[in-house]
Amino acid sequence: MTPGLVHSRKISGLRSLGITRQKSRYCFSLAEMILDGALNLSDAARSPDQIGREMLMSVPGLGSWSVDIYYLMALRRLDIWPKGDLALPVLLQEIKKLKEPPNHDEQAGLASAWRPWRSVAARLLWAHYLDARGRYEEKSGKRV
């Protein structure tokens, strides 16, 4: 998948792949920004987190959670806690035996104990989430 390929498909071509109208526009816009130089992903990756986040958040459709996931998964940053994730508050409630899922500020407080490894903690919690619900599989397809 390259920006050129996405851009060449146009929005209608992306829609034909089953991508929603809005997400097709976002994907096309992202590809266009990369191709015309308005967004340089290498610069965003090399910049201090706050500057890189601002660069990425300028892309229509990318919000805080999307940027956090990009930093955590693609850039493999070690200390990212994805604000707005739906599974993590449920998991924190389970493992901390809380009466209700923690809000964003409470999550940040709980996750601060895992600095500078919050990304690792999030990955472990997601693996636990899938495993506890019988959906975690090794790459071989066999249940762990």
The long-range contacts involving 94-98, CB below 8 angstroms and separated by at least 24 positions, are 94/132, 95/125, 95/128
By three-state DSSP, how is residue 137 classified?
strand
pLDDT at position 141, please?
Answer: 57
pLDDT reading at 26 higher than 80: yes
pLDDT at position 55, please?
Answer: 95
Contact (CB, 8 A) for 104 and 84: yes
pLDDT reading at 44 higher than 60: yes
What is the distance between the alpha carbons of residues 68 and 133, in angstroms, rounded to a whole number? 24
Give pLDDT tens digits for 55-101: 999 999 999 999 999 999 999 999 999 999 999 999 999 999 999 99
Enclosing H/E stretch for 26: helix 21-35
Contact (CB, 8 A) for 59 and 31: no
pLDDT at position 1, please?
Answer: 87
pLDDT at position 142, please?
Answer: 55
pLDDT reading at 139 higher than 90: no
What are the sequence ranges of the domains in the chain? 3-62, 78-144
pLDDT at position 140, please?
Answer: 55
What does pLDDT average to over the chain?
92
Least confident of 23-27, 73-77, 112-116, 140-144: 140-144
